[in-house]
A and B are shown apart, each in its own frame.
Chain A
Amino acid sequence: MDILPQLLINGLISGSTIALIAVGLSLIFGVLKFMNFAHGEIAMLGAYFYYYFFITLGWPVLPSMAITVALCAFVGFLFNRFIFWPLRKESQWTLLIVSVGVGMLIKNSVQLVASGSTRTYSQANEPSVVHHFFGDALIITSNQILIIVSAFVLMLGLFFFLKYSKLGKSIRALSDNMSLAGVVGIDIRRSVDWIFVLSSAIAGFAGILIAYEESLTPNMGQHLSILAFVAVILGGLGSIPGALVGGLLIGLLQDVGTGLTIGGYSIPSSYKSLIAFSVLILFLLFRPRGLFGISLEEDKSQKE
Chain B
Amino acid sequence: MFRKSLFTAVTLSSVLLASCGGTGSAKTITLGALGPLTGDASSYGIDMQNAASLAVKDINAAWAAEGMTLELQWENGACNGKDGATAAQKLVDVDGAQVILGGFCSSETLAAAPITEAAKVLLFSPGSSSPDVTNAGDYVYRDWPSDSYQGTKLAEFANENGWKTVAMVSEETDYAKGIAGAFTARFQELGGTVTEEKYLSEDTDFKTQITKLNAGAPDAWFVNPQTPVKADVLFKQMQDLGIEGPFLLNDVAGTSNDLLTNYKDYLEGSYTATLYIDEESEGVKAFKANYEATYGSQPNYLGYDLTTYDAVWILANAVLEVGNNGEAVKAYLDSFTGYDGLAGHTDFDANGDPLAGHSVYKIVSGAIVKQ
Contact = CB atoms under 8 A, between A and B. Distances in A.
Contact of A270 (B200, B204, B233, B240): B200
Contacts of B240: 128, 130, 139, 141, 144
A136 B243 CA distance: 11
Contacts of A122: 232, 236, 262
Contact of B204 (A13, A141, A217, A258): A217
Given A14-B205, A117-B40, A117-B42, A269 B242 contact: no
A125 interface: yes
B239 A269 contact: no
A295 interface: no
A132 B43 CA distance: 36
A117 B39 contact: yes
Contacts of A217: 40, 204
Contacts of A130: 240, 242
A3 B43 contact: no
Interface in A259-291: 259, 261, 266, 268-270, 272
Q: How large is the interface on B (under 10, 10 to 19, 20 to 34, 35 or more residues)?
A: 20 to 34
A3 B200 CA distance: 22
Interface string A21-57: 0000000000000000000000000000000000000
A1 B40 CA distance: 35
A171 B200 CA distance: 41
B40 A213 contact: no
B347 to A, nearest CB: 36
Interface string A104-117: 00000000000111
Nearest to A144: B240
B229 A269 contact: no
A191 interface: no
Chain A interface extent, by class = 35 or more
Nearest to B227: A118
Nearest to B209: A269
A136 B242 contact: yes
A7 B198 CA distance: 17
Contacts, number: 97
B234 to A, nearest CB: 10
14 contacts: A3-B212, A6-B241, A7-B208, A14-B205, A115-B38, A118-B40, A118-B230, A128-B240, A214-B204, A220-B204, A223-B202, A269-B197, A269-B209, A270-B199
B203 A215 contact: no
Contacts of A144: 240
A207 B215 CA distance: 30
A270 B236 contact: no
B253 to A, nearest CB: 14
A123 interface: yes
B202 A214 contact: no
Interface string B222-265: 00000101101100100111100000000000000000001000
A219 interface: yes
Given A116-B39, A117-B43, A125-B262, A269 B236 contact: no
Contacts of B200: 270
Nearest to A6: B211
B212 A270 contact: no
B76 to A, nearest CB: 11
A1 B197 contact: no
B233 A259 contact: no
B131 to A, nearest CB: 21
Contacts of A215: 204, 229, 232-233
A68 interface: no
A92 interface: no
Nearest to B230: A118
B233 A214 contact: yes
Contacts of B207: 10, 13, 255
Report, nearest first, the 10 A-B pairs whose CB atoms are least far apart: A214-B204, A118-B229, A10-B207, A269-B209, A3-B215, A259-B208, A270-B198, A6-B211, A269-B208, A215-B233
A272 B39 contact: no
